[in-house]
Structures are given as C-alpha cells and as structure tokens.
Amino acid sequence: MTAGSDAPADAPARTPKGMHDVLWPESARWERLVARFAALVEGAGYGLAITPIVEHVGIFNRGIGEGSDVVGKEMYTFVDRDGQVMALRPEGTAPVVRAYVQHHPVPPWKAWYVAPSFRHENPQHGRYRQHFQLGVEALGPSDADLDVEVIALAFDFIASLGLHQVILKVHSMGNEVCRPGYVELLRAFLAEHRSQLCGPHQARFEQNPLRVLDCKTPECEDVTEAAPRFVDNLCEPCAAHFARVRAGLDALDVPFVVDHRLVRGFDYYTRTTFEFASGAIDAAQNALGGGGRYNGLVEMLGGPPTPGIGFGLGIERILIACDAEGVFATEAPPLHAYVIDVTGGESAVLLTAELRRAGFRVDRGFDGRSMKSQFKSADHSGALVALVIGDRELAEGTVGLNPLRSDGEQRDIPRSDIVDELRALLS
C-alpha cells in the first residue's frame, strides 16, 4: 500500500483536524511576535537553532518518557520508507538537546527556536494538534543564576506584549537524590486518602503519584492540598538552589508564587520548574508557557553529563491571551504605494522595481485592468498612495500621486522626482 492510498479521493480541501492556517494579516502579528522574541533572546546570547520536524522516535521516548501523555498517547509516529520509526516533534527541548549531543558545541551553549509541535490531542480553543512554540534552551551551567535568567527572559517577553493578567508559578521537583524519597512519602499519603481521590487516580495513583498533584478534579485537589510538599523534602543542595532562584527573582522584581502542585509531566525535569498562567483565558488552556531544568537529559540522549534549562511558550495561547487582554493587536505594516498603469507598457514594471529597490513597500495592478478596477485594488491593498500612470502622464513624463488615506488632490510629479517625493511625503 502506498502512503495515502486509503485516503478518500474526494477528501475535502481542509486543514487536518486541530491544525490551522495562519494567513495575512494575522501572520504579520506572528512575524512581529517572533521578531520581538528573537531580539530579546539574541540580546542575551541565545542563537537560533533549526532542527528537523521529524526525529527518531527514541529521542522522545528516552527524553520525555514513554509513561508521559505526550509520548504515550499523543505523539505522531510513523514508519518511514526505510523502515525506521520516526516521530513528528511534540516539543522543542529533546531535539535541541539531541543537536547538542550530536554537534558537541562548547558549553555554555544557548539556543532559541520557533518550532511547530505536534500532539494528537482532543482539539479545543487553545489546544491544538499542531501548535507553535517559541523557546530557549541553555546547556552547561548548573548555576541558579541561569534559572533566574531564563525565567526572567520569559517574564520580560510576556510583559513586553502588555500582558498583565499572568501569574508565574515556580517549584522545585528535586533530583535523583531527594525525589525518590518524596515520591514514597506522597504515595503513602495518597494511599491513606485513596477513597477520596478521583476515580481514575484511586485505581492508578501508585504508578505515578506525582500525577495526582497535577490532577485538576476537585476530589484530588482537596486531597493534595494537605499532601506533603516537595519543598519541605528537598535535599540540602536542591533546597539551596531553589532558595537562590527565588532570591534572584525577587532581586529582579519578577513576581511569582511557589506552586506546590506544579509537577510538569516530562521525565526529564529536575529541580526548578515554572509555568506562566493567564487569568484572562479558559483555565483548562491557560498555560502560556512553561519550562524547567533537565540536568540529566543530555546523558539520557547519550552525551556527557551536562545540566540544562529552558522554556517553551505557545504562540497560539499567547495571542489568545493578548486578544483577551486587548493588547498586541494585529496590525500589518501598510504598503507605501500602489502603482496603477493603464498604458500597458513597461512603465509599471520600471516604476515598481525602482521604488522597491529604494526601500518602499509597493504593489501594482496586473492584467491591464481598467483604471477604476485598479483603484479598487489599490484601496483594498491598504496602500497609502496610488501612483497613476495614464496616457497623459506617460506623454508628459509624470506620475499622478494620489493620497488614499488622507485628504488631498491628485498631483502630478515629474517621473524623475518620484522617489524623493515619496520619501518626503512618508517621513
């Protein structure tokens, strides 16, 4: 069977379920968002990393863990034509760490990315099968100052968009020294309260007690309110690290709450974890982004012991939060000029090219349409002025400059002066 041979021949021309086109002018907002993020993180020493959308499935199985929802239930996997089992990237951290292991750049190594990620979820507003993440990963230092830097970068980015109704939650999940003891303590506590847990967790809390902390049912939330806390059971080095992270955030005036239930669902996390929750959007999808330390991930993927930390921010959710708070509106940069030519000669080709080479944003009419129809297109394009070349203008060596968004009559400009004239007008 060849790929796609079982697809109905009349399959509708639509995006796959849970995936979306992003078209102009909304796509212009995406461009601005990514450019703003790039400027911020590049200013802190992070360089762009572009990794394949597809990886060998083991990169995610080993890194994120086969017991996690993302790998166990949601990952898009397929067998390629060489018989290799591949996966569409469900998140950005494991691929960047794989790249670090493969290319062994000199640490500290700081990378940022903007990447589509794929998770076969039940789509709803803010939860999609393809979403985009903006993220950073920093590999090498175990220093708590780096945790502070990474969290503050995400905070500054979110604040720069004008988002105010966002809460930063931080937590520590300990490490291989203190986590097993805490998990045992939690398991024993949950066993005592088993009958009060939600149905599914009564049956399987023992396999992964940490997941119960994350459970949003009122039953589990009631029980875990009184559960032993990670922060009271950290080993001394983890406790000291977490104290330095909190002190650093305080020093930078980054407001946060310690969320004792913040256990992020990937196996790779150690020590610091954090999440940004929006109060302006539906609670089920209110995480605008999250991240944490993963001091064992490089080794899990076959590299030398190398600590790491990073975050991923969901572009769609950030923009939903922006809409809810009425900030960072969609505004596409307008065209400067639209060239209207009814002479059918080379004039439009030459004038448009000259203006574009001079740095103006310019579009033009095609197909020899009437003056009226080209004016309609010019108006629709959002251009600030129409530049008109009719038979008279051609004969006289002029161009008619026609303001489209402000008052003013059409006036004739000598063809040779048009660049200067337009520059003066737009400044």
Query: Interface with ligand HAM by CB under 6 A: which residues?
Result: 91-93, 119, 121, 126-128, 131, 133, 135, 137, 287-292, 310-312, 314, 316-317
- Edge-to-edge strands, sheet with 77-79: 54-56, 85-88, 77-79
Shortest reach from residue 289's CB to ligand HAM, in Å: 4
Q: Which is nearer to ligand HAM, 265 or 390 (by Cβ)? A: 265
From the list 387, 396, 395, the residue with the least C-alpha distance to 425 is 387
Q: Which is nearer to ligand HAM, 230 or 274 (by Cβ)? A: 274
Q: Which is nearer to ligand HAM, 135 or 400 (by Cβ)? A: 135
Which amino acid, 329? A
Q: Which is nearer to ligand HAM, 263 or 348 (by Cβ)? A: 263
Shortest reach from residue 12's CB to ligand HAM, in Å: 23
Distance CA 374, CA 381 (A): 10
What is the number of the residue whose Cβ is closest to ligand HAM?
314
Residues 6+ apart with CB under 8 A from 317: 126, 131, 278, 281, 285, 286, 287, 288, 289
Q: Which is nearer to ligand HAM, 318 or 348 (by Cβ)? A: 318
Shortest reach from residue 60's CB to ligand HAM, in Å: 11
Shortest reach from residue 147's CB to ligand HAM, in Å: 11
Q: Which is nearer to ligand HAM, 59 or 342 (by Cβ)? A: 59
Shortest reach from residue 128's CB to ligand HAM, in Å: 4
Q: Which is nearer to ligand HAM, 57 or 190 (by Cβ)? A: 57
Tokens coding 227: 């559960």
Shortest reach from residue 196's CB to ligand HAM, in Å: 28
Phi, psi of 109 (to 5 degrees): -120, 125
Shortest reach from residue 288's CB to ligand HAM, in Å: 5
Q: Which is nearer to ligand HAM, 94 or 339 (by Cβ)? A: 94
Distance CA 172, CA 235 (A): 11
Residue 141: exposed, middle, or buried by beta-carbon count in 10 A (0-12, 13-18, 19+)?
middle
Shortest reach from residue 266's CB to ligand HAM, in Å: 7
Q: Which is nearer to ligand HAM, 174 or 314 (by Cβ)? A: 314
Q: Which is nearer to ligand HAM, 114 or 378 (by Cβ)? A: 114
Cβ atoms 60, 74 nearer than 8 A? no
Q: Which is nearer to ligand HAM, 174 or 292 (by Cβ)? A: 292
The residues facing 412 across adjacent strands are 400
Shortest reach from residue 316's CB to ligand HAM, in Å: 5
Shortest reach from residue 281's CB to ligand HAM, in Å: 11
Shortest reach from residue 309's CB to ligand HAM, in Å: 7
Residue 245 CA to chain centroid, in angstroms? 24
